[in-house]
């Protein structure tokens, strides 16, 4: 039986890629790949350690199809310290994949793990 929710999610991911994405370079050490990414942000509510809540935003989130993250012939998952070069910014900027609070550096953006939401912080310009 066909899972219509999964098919719909795949269709939505393709529409985002076709109509709302930009090309970025995903880099780990000396390896890199050009991928289509949708730009986003995440608003996080973090415990401030004193019984209150601190609100923090990621500098930028990149929504990237998991199947596109292939370095040296191997499909990878994002990890802290990876870099994303966004040449469509003016000036071109470099973002580092990092975790915010207990959120981790990335999370699936759909129930099937086809689209990944990667948290990043700007660390420089090219």
**DSSP state letter for 67:** G
Interval 9-25 mean pLDDT: 92
Residue 103 has phi, psi (to 5 degrees) of -70, -30
Question: Does residue 44 surpass a pLDDT of 80?
Answer: no
Nearest to 82 by CA among 25, 1, 26, 19: 26
Question: Does residue 28 surpass a pLDDT of 70?
Answer: yes
**What confidence category does residue 46 fall into, taking pLDDT thresholds of 50, 70 and 90?**
low
Q: What is the CATH number of domain 4-125?
A: 2.40.10
Alpha carbons 28 and 6: distance in angstroms, whole number? 30
pLDDT at 3: 87
Q: Does this model's pTM top 0.95? A: no
Q: Which of 45-49, 96-100, 103-107 has the lowest mean pLDDT?
A: 45-49
């Amino acid at each position: 039986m066909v899972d219509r929710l999964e098919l719909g999610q795949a269709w939505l991911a393709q529409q985002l890629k076709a109509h709302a994405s930009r090309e970025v370079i995903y880099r780990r050490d000396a390896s890199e790949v050009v991928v289509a990414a949708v730009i986003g942000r995440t608003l996080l509510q973090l415990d401030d350690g004193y019984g209150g809540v601190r609100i923090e935003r990621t500098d930028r989130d990149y929504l990237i199809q998991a199947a596109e993250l292939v370095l040296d012939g191997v499909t990878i998952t994002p990890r802290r310290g990876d870099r994303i070069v966004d040449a469509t910014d003016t000036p071109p900027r470099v973002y580092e994949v990092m975790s915010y609070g207990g959120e981790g550096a990335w999370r699936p953006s759909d129930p099937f793990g086809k689209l990944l939401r990667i948290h990043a912080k700007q660390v420089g310009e090219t």
